[in-house]
Amino acid sequence: MENKYSLETQAEIENILKKIHCKNSFSVKYEFFFDGWAISLKEKTSYPRLIIIFKSYIKEFFSIKSFEIYNDNDKKKKYNQLYFVEEIKSLEELIKEINAIIYGKDLMNYTSKKYYKYFEK
C-alpha cells in the first residue's frame, strides 16, 4: 500500500493533470483518502459536469465517473451520473478515456441511452 503523501503518488497525479486536454476549462481539485486518491474536474460552464478520477492504493486500476450538476426546484445541487468506467489498467488508457469524456463521450452515451429507452416504450 502506497503512502498518500509519497512522491510516487504525487508524481502520478501531476503526470495525469499534465496530459489532460482543455485543463483550463475545469476547476481541478485532488484529495487523498484512506483507501486511495481522487482528482475532481469541475467544468467552468453554466451547465457543468463533474469528472472524478479515482485510484485505490490497493488495486492498480483507475476508475472514472462523470456527473451532470444541476439545481432542483429547491435550488439544491443535484448530481446525475452520466458515465462510469471501471478497472482502467494503464495510464495511457486513462488519459484516452478522460479526453474522450471531456469532448463529450459521456453526454453522447447518456443521451443515446435515453433516446433508445424512449422509443422502446
Q: Is the distance from CB of 83 to CB of 90 less than 8 angstroms? A: no
pLDDT in tens, 25-66: 889 998 988 889 999 999 888 778 899 999 988 888 999 999
- pLDDT beyond 70 at 9: yes
Amino acid letter, residue 112 = S
**Percentage above 70 pLDDT, the chain:** 87
Q: Which of 94, 95, 107 is nearest to 49 (CA)?
A: 107
Instruction: For the full predicted model, state whether its pTM sits above 0.85.
Output: no
Rounded distance, CA 81 to CA 33, Å? 22
Give pLDDT, residue 63: 95
Facing residues of 67 across strands? 50, 81
Q: Cell 509519497 belongs to which residue? A: 6
Between residues 21 and 68, which one has the greater pLDDT? 68
